[in-house]
């Protein structure tokens, strides 16, 4: 649920996770923190309130108006706005936004990967849904960029399935802090054969 509201500089983070059991929202993005150009009016802010649900459940089936009202109420409840701040809103329903991991998912994904690479060697799977991996957006984009290099090279010089496994950061663990305490971008994955990229 996207809410347009008066800018009060409530938080500068790109996103925050909400752990308050009295609300249904799971994460809130501040699009202005991603880039001020995402919110053309400097007097306004745009927050994306993420509600985790499944197709067909109560939240998914709620009307846009009901979801905007819920998001507005919950934003007020957690102290990020006051009544009257929200000026507009819209709803985007994203099917299959998160892969569901079960106890057998790794084995199943490996089966699909092997079959696809064997039977369809010119078909490349990338990104969160393509690879059925819970990757951040930058990891998903890295799989696409490395896949483009594989295509240009005419062979798989990068193991895109290793992206995010060997990266320097993820949302868990050290939260991306390197030796200097600075957040790093994902490191490139070494080609499986040790070949250098062009």
Q: Cα separation of 45 and 161, whole Å?
A: 37
What pLDDT is recorded for position 163? 86
- The per-residue pLDDT for range 49-76, each reduced to its tens digit, is 999 999 999 999 999 999 999 999 999 9
Residue range of the domain that includes 195: 98-198
Regarding whether 76 and 57 lie in a shared domain, the answer is: yes
Domain count, the chain: 2
**Token couple for 119:** 């039977």
Same domain, 81 and 52: yes
> Per the structure block, which two tokens stand in for 52?
């985790």
The structure's pTM equals 0.67
**Distance of alpha carbon 79 from alpha carbon 28, whole angstroms:** 13
CB 197 within 8 A of CB 158: yes
With 50 as the cut, is the pLDDT of residue 184 above it? no
64 and 103 housed in the same domain: no
Asked if residues 138 and 185 have their Cβ atoms less than 8 Å apart, the reply is yes
**Cβ–Cβ < 8 Å for 112, 129:** no
């Amino acid at each position: 649920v996207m809410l347009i509201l008066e800018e009060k500089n409530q938080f500068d983070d790109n996103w925050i996770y909400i752990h308050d059991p009295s609300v249904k929202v799971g994460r809130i993005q501040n699009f202005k923190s991603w880039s001020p150009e995402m919110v053309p009016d400097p007097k306004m802010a745009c927050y994306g309130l993420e509600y985790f649900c499944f197709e067909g459940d109560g939240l998914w089936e709620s009307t846009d108006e009901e979801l905007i009202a819920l998001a507005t109420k919950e934003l007020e409840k957690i102290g990020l706005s006051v009544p009257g701040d929200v000026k507009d809103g819209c709803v985007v329903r994203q099917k299959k936004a998160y892969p569901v991991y079960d106890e057998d998912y790794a084995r199943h994904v490996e089966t699909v990967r092997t079959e696809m690479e064997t039977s369809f060697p010119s078909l490349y799977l990338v990104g969160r849904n393509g690879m059925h991996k819970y990757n951040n957006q930058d990891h998903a984009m890295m799989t696409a960029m490395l896949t483009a290099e594989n295509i240009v090279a005419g062979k798989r010089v990068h193991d895109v399935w290793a992206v995010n496994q060997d990266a320097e950061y993820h949302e868990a663990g050290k939260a991306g802090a390197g030796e200097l305490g600075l957040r790093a971008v994902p490191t490139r994955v070494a080609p499986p054969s040790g070949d250098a990229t062009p």
